Amino acid sequence: MGLPGLGALLLLLLLAAPCPGQRAGDSVFQPSFIHMSGPRVNSFFLGNSSGVTFSVILSPGDEETGKLQVANCSGSKTAGDWNLDVTPGMNTSKVTVSLTRNLELCLPNATDCCPSPLCVLETLQVLACRGSVRLAQLLIQAEIFANSSFAGNVSENATIIPNQAFQPLGSCPCNLTAGACDVRCCCDLECTPDLKQLFNGSCFTGVFGGDVNPPFDQLCSSQSMEYTPEWFPFLCVQSSLDNTPFLGYFYHGSISAPKVPAFTIPLQTSPGRLFTGYRQGDPIITEENEYFTIPQQSLAGQCVGNAPVAYLQDFDVKCLTSLESYKEGLPHHVRINTGTADFIQQNVTYRTVTDRGKFITESENLHPAEVLCQNVTFAEHYTFICKDKNIEQVNVTVFLGSLCDGEILTQRFTVEFLSLKSTNGEELPENTGYQVGKPVRAANINASDPLGTLNIWQPAGRGLCASATYTPVLFGVDFYSGCILEVGINEDCSLLRGNVTEKLNSLIQATHIGKRDNSSYSDPDDWVQIIRLDPFNSDTNVSTGNLKGFCPDIPANLNIHIMFAEVGAVQGIPQQQILAVQISYSTVLWQFQCGLSCGNSLSFLPITASVQFIKVPAQPPVRKTRYHRIYVEFDCNQNDVCLQQLFYPLTRFYTGEPYSQCLAKGLLLAFLVLLAVIMSNPWFSKLWNR
Amino acid sequence: MAGVELFSHPALYTRYRAGLCSAAALALLLITALTYVPPLLVAYRSHGFWLKQSTYLEQPTVRFRYEVLLVATIGPSPGSFLAWSTFPAFNRLQEDRLRVPLLATREEDKNQDGKMDQLHFELELPLQPTEHVFGIQLILLFSYQLYRMSTFVMQSMAFLQFFSPVPGSGLYMNGDLKLNQRQLLNHCGLDTRYNVSVVNGTSPFASDYDLTNIIAAYWDRNVTTVFSDPSPVWMTGRATDTPFIINATIHYPVEVILYQPGFWEIIKFAWIQYVSILLIFLWVFGRIKMFLFQNQVLTTIPVSSVLPVSPVLSYKQHQS
């Protein structure tokens, strides 16, 4: 080795040796500069922390140059309001700097708080020293604002801008400087009385000085001596200075803001407290003062989940849902307000759905084993038992079942309000006649069980008679429906006739129909007997013999004619009663329809039933002769120039003005005409000249 | 002959006198009745005597009330729709179906006559990339006022609806808000029977926001407005991050309004017709009267004002 070897070794040593001021391990704060905006901040000291002392120093910094003073290692862990905490670790130590003063915004004359919103603006240095050697330094710039908390209510009051027609928006036009007193402006509220006294004699006058409503000449209290006429104060105007002729609009008596429409969504009002009971149409309230909700139909057939229920409004809705969009409704343990600030529990009965196919429609074909299923509510039936204005009891029947992914469920929700007989003595006079839409009463008078039914078919699915259900006949509504009967080619005709007749007769399980809605079973006068015109009896007349696939005279169409009339009125509501009911059959010829070859396939025979309501006049109408029917002189519906309308404006036919006014105007005209006639008479002119 | 005779004033002014109960007086009464009554009957029987309805033109004062109800169908499965309205109770019912759109509206008075002429309505409905709009049902509420005859104030609605089997990027509609009358309006006075809101915005019940109930109640009214647009444009091709845009321009046109005329208007038109026929009858019966009296068909005592009335000499008119 010689000089180059020594030089290489030195180079190596130099390279290996750490830089001046840095020891092996390279201790550093990470991060080394923090801009602090909260009361606590953390940093990490990387490096061996054994024997290292940490200190925090408040560095005010040089005012002129802004440079920081170089700190020495003589600080401590506390400086002013600042605290330093060190959590030592293996190679890293956590360093926490925290502020210990109160950050509340000051009230006047209070201590230990922040006098201004910018509470702390300081610079800190955190030093890590070993002995008196500085290892690392952390620079913290603290800019901390005072804590502000919002206390108080949010006011929904909007600033009402007065209508400019009555109140100028700037009521003091000379108040130009904000926060300071404007000289010579006597309406400026920022001027103290002492200041005002200085320029009191030379205030701005007129509108610019704030006098936006100068007293006008016609005012009774007007002191102006300029243009007062001699008759003043005769016909002077007595009014307050709120209403002057300088304003453009009529003064309603209040200063109202102009109602300019805009997109403002008004406040939501929560349901009010109930102390006096429910009236019809009021929403039902729960214990927590919220609406009692059940899914209902809204919009264009879509269902909304939580819709309030109205008192005494029954409904029956079907909502579609699937597993993704399924949501549970209101839980059943919620108690309901009865109307008298008392709460009752719902009486819930849980059942499992037996016929799942009625509710579910499958939309996708999935492997049934691997699919996700959940136990959901299939139907809920609510019955509210109410008395007067209170709810006595709530009975709920919940049907549960499992819904799987990919299926569409038809949920059904029904609500029914039943009322107990109230002990209130008042009995409203009953409307005993039928009302349109109510079911027709039917009975078997001479049977043990008098209850009867009058139905027609409600077809379902494919429309076969085997799967059809019944729906009751409603008063005043003409019905027509039917179902399809499957008939084989070898069907015996008389058997077929019997089958069809039996099916049609199953619709009418009654012998009498009630005249009124409240017909009682004990009074035979309340019922009319059903007149049956039985189908043509085919036993006596076998016309076609034994032709296969061909049957004449099948009574496949049932016609029910119900005759009703208006008999009197109760409280202005006309009473409608059924006078007679007739059932007749019309026959069809059934022929087996088949193509080229008739196998053992089935043919279809449609069986129909129709109900027709015929209004009969209560009294027979007056017979009109043919002459009267053609001669329409007095019939204003068929004749534009009927004689009753000869003096049209003076008759009741004219509805453009009240009749009394028309009569008065007509009399005025008649008076004028009479005056004209009298004055044109020569006798009058003689009288006048005398 | 010197010249043509243009006018002749009877030089002899003759008055015919008779008793009040004489045949002549009764005949005169009959003739007077025949002069004044038949014109009324003739005018009435020829139709149109009494003016039962009339029309006038007015551009109504229409202002948009800034009340909107929107339903957007985004798929066939149950519950796939979005809704929003300016009624807080309705919005609360929709829960997670609520989607707040961006609305930009402007009413324009094109001819500066103080009455708005059209409404520019633009609505942007934000959508997720997987949502596709298939149909829109939109209700806009207006306040509608007529002033020229009766002061008619009502709140009316424009119902915009469009459905398409293909998903869309926007809907463009341009049409008039036309008045639909089922009965005649009055000729004077204040008519505010339809100054009730079409949608009950304060009700919390779902049935009050059922479109069928709203429309059924609206069409029970006898005077309504209809938004008539024969050509809505369904635009397709929505980029995934763009909203669905509804762009509607609703014009407020001049309307022909049917009204029932007032008493004096009816009498005035009737009078014109009556007098024009009366003139003919007056002339005819005047001639008949002259003939009857001059030729003494009715026995009267003629008194001439030229010759002195002499109780001795009775001047008998020469009968021809």
- Mean pLDDT is lowest, of A332-336, A593-597, B202-206, for A593-597
Ranked by mean pLDDT, the top range of A244-248, A398-402, A471-475, B214-218 is: B214-218
Chain B, 88-107: which have a CB under 8 Å from a chain A CB? 88-89, 92-95, 97, 103
Q: Do A656 and B260 touch (CB under 8 A)?
A: yes
Calpha distance A513→A500 (Å, rounded):
23
Calpha distance B200→B63 (Å, rounded):
19
* Mutation site for A-interface testing, chosen from B258, B263, B305 by largest number of A Cβ within 10 Å: B263
Phi, psi of A633 (to 5 degrees): -55, -40
- Report whether B160 contacts B69 (CB < 8 A): no
Q: What is the pLDDT of residue B74?
A: 92
Look up the CATH number of domain A6-145.
2.60.40
Calpha distance A413→A294 (Å, rounded):
8
- Report whether A581 contacts A528 (CB < 8 A): yes
Q: Which residues contact A340 (CB under 8 A, 6 or more apart)?
A: A275, A277, A390
> Which of B63, B65, B79 is facing A325, going by the closest CB pair?
B79
Residues B158 and B189 in one domain: yes
Residue at B111 is within a domain: yes
Nearest to B200 by CA among A259, A258, A310: A310
ipTM of the complex: 0.78
Residues B195 and B297 in one domain: no
> Which of A271, A300, A649 is facing B211, going by the closest CB pair?
A300
Q: Is A549 helix (H, G, I), strand (E, B) or coil?
A: coil
Q: What is the pLDDT of residue A354?
A: 84
Is the pLDDT at A272 greater than 70, yes or no?
no
**How many angstroms away from the CA of A353 is the closest CA of chain B?**
22
Q: What is the pLDDT of residue A219?
A: 80
Calpha distance B152→B173 (Å, rounded):
28
Q: What is the pLDDT of residue A268?
A: 64
Domain boundary among B228, B259, B290: B259
**How many angstroms away from the CA of A686 is the closest CA of chain B?**
16
Q: Which residues contact A478 (CB under 8 A, 6 or more apart)?
A: A610, A611, A612, A613
Residue at B265 is within a domain: no
Residues B208 and B281 in one domain: no
Q: What is the pLDDT of residue B125?
A: 94
Percent pLDDT > 90 in chain A is 11
Tokens of A151: 């206390």
Residues B247 and B305 in one domain: no
For residue B180, give the H/E element and its range: strand B170-181
Residues B204 and B97 in one domain: yes
Per-residue model confidence as pLDDT tens digits over A473-524: 999 899 999 898 888 777 788 888 888 888 888 888 888 888 888 888 888 8
Q: Tell me the residue range of the domain where B223 lies.
A: 59-259
- The rounded average pLDDT for each run of 10 residues, N- to C-terminus, in chain B (320 residues) is 54 72 86 94 94 95 94 88 92 89 93 94 93 94 94 95 94 95 94 94 90 95 93 92 94 96 94 96 90 81 63 54
Calpha distance B55→B260 (Å, rounded):
8
Q: What is the pLDDT of residue A22?
A: 45
Residues B126 and B255 in one domain: yes
Residues B25 and B135 in one domain: no
Q: Do B79 and A302 touch (CB under 8 A)?
A: yes
Q: Which residues contact A164 (CB under 8 A, 6 or more apart)?
A: none
Q: What is the pLDDT of residue A430?
A: 60
Q: What is the pLDDT of residue B186?
A: 93
Task: Name the residue of chain B whose CA is nearest to A266's CA.
Answer: B88
Chain B residues closer than 8 Å to A649 by CB: 50, 263, 266-267
Q: What is the pLDDT of residue A426?
A: 47
Chain A, 657-686: which have a CB under 8 Å from a chain B CB? 657, 661-662, 665, 669
Chain A residues closer than 8 Å to B44 by CB: 641, 646
Residues B250 and B295 in one domain: no
Task: Name the residue of chain A whose CA is nearest to B150's CA.
Answer: A656
Q: What is the DSSP letter of A147?
A: B
Q: Which residues contact A354 (CB under 8 A, 6 or more apart)?
A: none
Q: Do B210 and A408 touch (CB under 8 A)?
A: no
Number of DSSP helices (H) and strands (E) in chain B, helices first: 4, 15
- This model's pTM is above 0.90: no
Tokens of B237: 């091709």
Task: Name the residue of chain B whose CA is nearest to A363's CA.
Answer: B77
Chain A, 248-267: which have a CB under 8 Å from a chain B CB? 261-267
Which residue did the predictor score with more confidence, A275 or B291? B291
Q: What is the pLDDT of residue B305?
A: 63
Nearest to B211 by CA among B135, B147, B306, B270: B135
Residues B102 and B196 in one domain: yes
Residues B78 and B22 in one domain: no
Q: Which residues contact A289 (CB under 8 A, 6 or more apart)?
A: A270, A271, A273
Per-residue model confidence as pLDDT tens digits over A160-201: 676 666 666 667 878 888 888 888 888 888 888 888 888 888
Q: Is B109 helix (H, G, I), strand (E, B) or coil?
A: coil
Q: What is the pLDDT of residue A357?
A: 78
How long, in residues, is chain A? 690
Q: Do A641 and B263 touch (CB under 8 A)?
A: no
Phi, psi of A346 (to 5 degrees): -80, 140
Q: What is the pLDDT of residue A83?
A: 87
Phi, psi of B105 (to 5 degrees): -130, 150
Per-residue model confidence as pLDDT tens digits over A78-97: 888 888 888 888 788 888 88
> Which of A266, A300, A646 is facing B71, going by the closest CB pair?
A300
* Mutation site for B-interface testing, chosen from A298, A632, A673, A686 by largest number of B Cβ within 10 Å: A298
User: What value, to the nearest 5°, has the Cα angle with vertex A121 and ends A118 and A123?
Assistant: 165
Q: What is the pLDDT of residue B1?
A: 47
Chain B residues closer than 8 Å to A665 by CB: 263-264, 267
- Mean pLDDT is lowest, of A143-147, A269-273, A310-314, for A269-273
Q: What is the pLDDT of residue B313?
A: 47
Residues B178 and B249 in one domain: yes
Per-residue model confidence as pLDDT tens digits over A299-329: 888 888 889 999 888 999 998 888 888 888 8
Chain B residues closer than 8 Å to A654 by CB: 263, 266
Mode of pairing for the β-strands spanning A527-533 and A573-591: parallel
Q: Do A307 and B77 touch (CB under 8 A)?
A: no
Per-residue model confidence as pLDDT tens digits over A517-574: 888 888 888 888 889 887 665 454 445 555 677 788 888 899 999 999 888 788 878 8
Q: Do B77 and A302 touch (CB under 8 A)?
A: no
Q: Do A661 and B205 touch (CB under 8 A)?
A: no
Is the pLDDT at A660 greater than 90, yes or no?
yes
Domain ranges of chain A: 6-145, 266-419, 442-615, 643-679
Which residue did the predictor score with more confidence, A640 or A597? A640
Secondary structure in 3-state letters for A460-495: CCCCEHHHCEEEECECCCCEEEEEEEEEECCCCHHH
Q: Do A299 and B263 touch (CB under 8 A)?
A: no
Is A610 part of the contact surface with chain B (CB cutoff 8 Å)? Answer: no
Q: Is A570 helix (H, G, I), strand (E, B) or coil?
A: strand
pLDDT band (50, 70, 90) for residue A254 = low
Q: Print burial letters for A425-454: b (CB count within 10 Å at least 16), e (below 16).
A: eeeeeebebbeeeeebbbbbeeeeebebbb
Q: Please, what is the average pLDDT of chain A?
A: 80
Percent pLDDT > 70 in chain A is 79
Task: Name the residue of chain A whose CA is nearest to B212's CA.
Answer: A300
Per-residue model confidence as pLDDT tens digits over A611-629: 999 988 867 777 877 777 6
Q: What is the DSSP letter of A285?
A: B
Q: Do A320 and B79 touch (CB under 8 A)?
A: yes
For residue A194, give the H/E element and its range: helix A193-198
Q: Do A262 and B262 touch (CB under 8 A)?
A: no
Q: What is the pLDDT of residue B316?
A: 57
Residues B181 and B251 in one domain: yes
Query: How many domains does chain B fold into?
Result: 2
Q: What is the DSSP letter of A283?
A: B
CA A516 to chain centre: 40
Chain B, 181-220: which have a CB under 8 Å from a chain A CB? 184, 186-187, 202, 204-207, 209-212
